[in-house]
Amino acid sequence: METLALGMRWESERPHVLVAACSDGRLQEATDSFLSRALGVRQYDRLYLPGGGGALSASGSDFMRAAEVRRECRFLIEAHGVEHLILLFHGPAAGGPAEAVCADYRRKHSWQRPDQVRAQQEADVRDLLGRRAEFSGGARLSVYRFEVTAAGGLQVAPLHVDEPALRR
């Protein structure tokens, strides 16, 4: 087996940004594009799991997994000196296609309609904000949902962005 030289340099500098996003590959280019355009961030640390930010919340059903994911997140915050944690959710926009519902939410709430999943994700954000010290330490916190519109477009809705006074 031959080694393949990539012709690129390793960059030792970290942006001190951690993104928790869903593993869904259909959103990865959109995620990179949004973070680079809106926040000027690239080469960010990634915690990719089914559900993304939703994996940190038990959503009323999966307490052991959520607690473990919060521990992993907290580990990265401390080990990499993360100053800004970005939690990403995804799913259909209001009126968007049902097949855009996140697979992790389908697993946790198989009986919910897309609009109920949207409400569940917002409830999970409130749950996470109430326990943020468990997983984000003193890092600034932003939460967004990537939404698929009825026409098949992608948009990003802010669900929570820390006020400047809360930033350190």
Give CA–CA dist 89/143, Å, rounded.
8
Q: Which stretch binds Zn ion (CB under 5 A): 20-28, 39-47, 61-69, 119-127?
A: 20-28
CB of residue 5 vs Zn ion: minimum separation in angstroms? 35
Cβ proximity to Zn ion: between 38 and 103 the closer is: 103
Pairing between β-strand 17-21 and β-strand 84-92 as defined by DSSP bridges: parallel
> Can residue 22 be called a binding residue for Zn ion (CB under 5 A)?
yes
Cβ proximity to Zn ion: between 15 and 52 the closer is: 52
Size of the site for Zn ion (CB under 5 A): 3
Q: Which of 17, 19, 24, 143 binds Zn ion (CB under 5 A)?
A: 24
Cβ proximity to Zn ion: between 24 and 162 the closer is: 24
The answer to whether 69 and 50 are in contact (CB under 8 A) is: no
Residue whose tokens read 């001190």: 16
Cβ proximity to Zn ion: between 22 and 56 the closer is: 22
CB of residue 135 vs Zn ion: minimum separation in angstroms? 19
> Can residue 27 be called a binding residue for Zn ion (CB under 5 A)?
no
> Counting beta carbons within 10 angstroms of the beta carbon of residue 118, is it exposed (0 to 12), middle (13 to 18) or buried (19 or more)?
buried
Give CA–CA dist 90/121, Å, rounded.
9
For Zn ion, the binding residues in 127-146 under the rule CB under 5 A are: none
Q: Which of 73, 85, 102, 139 binds Zn ion (CB under 5 A)?
A: 102
CB of residue 10 vs Zn ion: minimum separation in angstroms? 30
Give CA–CA dist 139/125, Å, rounded.
16
12-83-132-155 Cα dihedral, nearest 10 degrees? -90
Cβ proximity to Zn ion: between 24 and 147 the closer is: 24
The answer to whether 121 and 145 are in contact (CB under 8 A) is: yes
Q: Which residues sit at the interface with Zn ion, rule CB under 5 A?
A: 22, 24, 102
